[in-house]
């Protein structure tokens, strides 16, 4: 298989996500998330360059500003204010989660091989496996973490994966749709962040394993 730089950037994003899962420190997680999103913005820019579709440059710039700069900035502000530094994790120790997500990376390659190519196009195999791996990695992060903030980061990683899949497999979505999704993500992160803030205020912790029982 010959890899182009375009596909390598996509795989780089998946690798950044895998490295993100391996650390329990929320700040490291946020930095790696920002790196992964920057790579996805670069991927969008490369797509615009190769297909000569200028409006994707705007999408790339918006992703960079909103998801790679704005969202990590906001979340790190929240981390500072609720005074939670690291996530002990549940179910599995964090290094093992990282190794598990590499196995899922291999699995996502096998899955991508099974996918039917959309009519008239050639399936971008590396892009598809990177995208599916991003979704798996985000899912693993949401499943194995204790702190609500890590779940937000895991969710954002899954969102990145779905975006990457749409970008690499189709001709890209219309700009209005991309912008709408970006706005939704921003709104979602804002609400989730403020909710984490409120939960911390009323329960004195944001441990999701202890939020299973209802009370008055």
Sites of contact with other proteins (CB under 8 A): 1-5, 8, 11, 15, 18-19, 22-24, 94-95, 98-99, 102, 105-106, 109
Instruction: Please say which residue, 27 or 55, places its beta carbon nearer to other proteins.
Output: 27
Using alpha carbons only, how large is the chain's radius of gyration in Å?
18
Residue 3 C-beta: closest distance to other proteins, Å:
5
Instruction: Please say which residue, 89 or 161, places its beta carbon nearer to other proteins.
Output: 89
Residue 183 C-beta: closest distance to other proteins, Å:
34
Cα separation of 21 and 105, whole Å? 13
Instruction: Please say which residue, 109 or 197, places its beta carbon nearer to other proteins.
Output: 109
Instruction: For residue 86, report the phi and psi dihedrals to the nearest 5 degrees.
Output: -135, 165
Contact status, residue 99 vs residue 128, Cβ threshold 8 Å: no
Which of 4, 2, 7, 5 is CA-nearest to residue 169? 7
Chain position carrying tokens 């096998």:
110
Which of 171, 177, 133, 165 is CA-nearest to residue 20? 133
Residue 93 C-beta: closest distance to other proteins, Å:
8
Instruction: Please say which residue, 15 or 63, places its beta carbon nearer to other proteins.
Output: 15
Residue 129 C-beta: closest distance to other proteins, Å:
8
């Amino acid at each position: 298989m010959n890899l182009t730089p375009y596909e390598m950037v996509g795989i780089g994003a998946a690798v950044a996500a895998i490295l993100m899962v391996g650390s329990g420190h929320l700040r490291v997680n946020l930095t790696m998330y920002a790196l992964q999103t920057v790579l996805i913005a670069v991927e969008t820019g490369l797509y615009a360059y190769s297909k000569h579709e200028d409006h994707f440059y705007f999408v790339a710039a918006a992703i960079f500003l909103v998801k790679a700069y704005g969202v990590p900035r906001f979340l790190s502000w929240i981390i500072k204010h609720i005074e939670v530094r690291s996530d002990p994790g549940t179910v599995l120790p964090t290094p093992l989660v990282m190794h598990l997500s590499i196995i899922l990376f291999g699995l996502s390659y096998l899955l991508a091989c099974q996918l039917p190519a959309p009519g008239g196009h050639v399936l971008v195999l590396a892009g598809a496996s990177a995208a599916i791996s991003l979704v798996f990695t985000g899912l693993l992060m949401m499943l194995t973490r204790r702190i609500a903030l890590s779940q937000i980061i895991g969710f954002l990683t899954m969102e990145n994966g779905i975006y990457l899949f749409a970008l690499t497999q189709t001709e890209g979505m219309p700009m209005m749709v991309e912008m709408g999704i970006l706005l939704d993500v921003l709104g979602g992160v804002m609400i989730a962040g403020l909710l984490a803030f409120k939960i911390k205020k009323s329960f004195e912790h944001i441990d999701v394993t202890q939020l299973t029982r209802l009370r008055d």
